[in-house]
Amino acid sequence: MKTILYATDYSQNSVAALLYAHTICFKLKAKLLILHVFDEPMSLATKVSLAYLKKEQELYEMHQMKLEAFCYEHLKDRPIVTDRQVITLENRSSTDGILEAIVTHSPDMVAVGTKGVSALKEFLLGSTAIGLIKKAPCSVLTVPQYTSPAPLKTLVYATDFEEADIFAIRQLVKIAKPFKAAIKIVHITTKAEYEEDRKVAWLKKILEQKINYKPMGFERIFSEDISKELHAYMERSEVSILGMLERKDSSLLRKFFHKDLVIAMESYLTIPLLCFKVGGL
């Protein structure tokens, strides 16, 4: 993992995501891109003139300075990430602006906060977070407001025994290894959907062949309420990050969060959720 893109609306709700992105970048010696997407609508009748271009340049400089001040306020007492870049973009859609930055900079992961206060844009909760999970070609880390990035001790990956799990777990190992964090691969199922032991054995064998990471274990749990059990498991296991696979047609996210995903994220997830994409970066 070489580059992480973090997006903010300057709100206090987005600080935890900044600290997570910064901590992971420092440990992985990765590049940290810090982005703010702003919307300063101009009249469609406005002519593209020197005055217009000057005003636009001033807006970029203002937001650049504001973003630098935001970073200094929250990172001044943190270890220095040597490769850090601050970016401002103008776009009426926060999601589209972040996606534009993803296309330009090709990050391995994008990090945003949840429980944001930008009601009109729904920037950090709702359309942007869900839009990124659905549309971003890279992994997406959503971080609840009141979470601490240090130390990362246990990373959980919820599996449904898919081949793409191998890619996702490999990416999770890249994060866990510098922290010497444990990885728990968990399969929660109802008895009616009981998976045979051979599927667990298959995944273990593949991971042993392709991923050599010792502090990694497996656990299978039976429950008739999968999302509730997942929540309970995270609470009793002191999980630092929950990793899941997001795919277009058959998503484990939808299996766990059978209600509206936004409501489920807010209600169930009090820890960061890392969504991997099939064929993602």
**CATH number of domain containing 89:** 3.40.50.620
Pair (102, 127) in one structural domain: yes
**SS3 of 258, please?**
coil
Pair (174, 125) in one structural domain: no
Has residue 180 got a pLDDT over 90? yes
Residue 279 — φ and ψ, nearest 5°? Answer: 75, 15
Split at pLDDT 50, 70, 90, the class of 173 is very high
Pair (233, 117) in one structural domain: no
Residue 244 — φ and ψ, nearest 5°? Answer: -145, 160
Pair (178, 102) in one structural domain: no
Sole residue written with tokens 């274990």: 217
Has residue 186 got a pLDDT over 70? yes
Residue 105 — φ and ψ, nearest 5°? Answer: -105, -10
Helix (H) or strand (E) holding 33: strand 31-38
Check: CB of residue 116 under 8 Å from CB of residue 124. yes
Number of domains making up the chain: 2
Residue 242 lies in a domain: yes
Q: Last residue of some domain: 81, 114, 143?
A: 143
Pair (34, 110) in one structural domain: yes
Pair (23, 109) in one structural domain: yes
pLDDT value of position 252: 55
Residue 281 lies in a domain: no
Q: Last residue of some domain: 96, 121, 143?
A: 143
Pair (195, 229) in one structural domain: yes
Of the ranges 87-96, 201-210, 267-276, which one carries the lowest mean pLDDT score?
267-276
pTM: predicted TM-score of the whole model, two decimal places: 0.84
pLDDT value of position 255: 56
- Cα distance between residue 24 and residue 258, in whole Å: 30
Residue 195 lies in a domain: yes
pLDDT tens per residue, range 220-262: 888 877 777 877 888 788 889 989 887 655 455 555 554 444 3
Has residue 77 got a pLDDT over 70? yes
Pair (122, 238) in one structural domain: no
Residue 149 lies in a domain: no
Domain interval for residue 264: 154-273
Q: Of 132-136, 193-197, 267-271, which one has max mean pLDDT?
A: 132-136
Residue 37 — φ and ψ, nearest 5°? Answer: -105, 120
- Cα distance between residue 112 and residue 107, in whole Å: 13
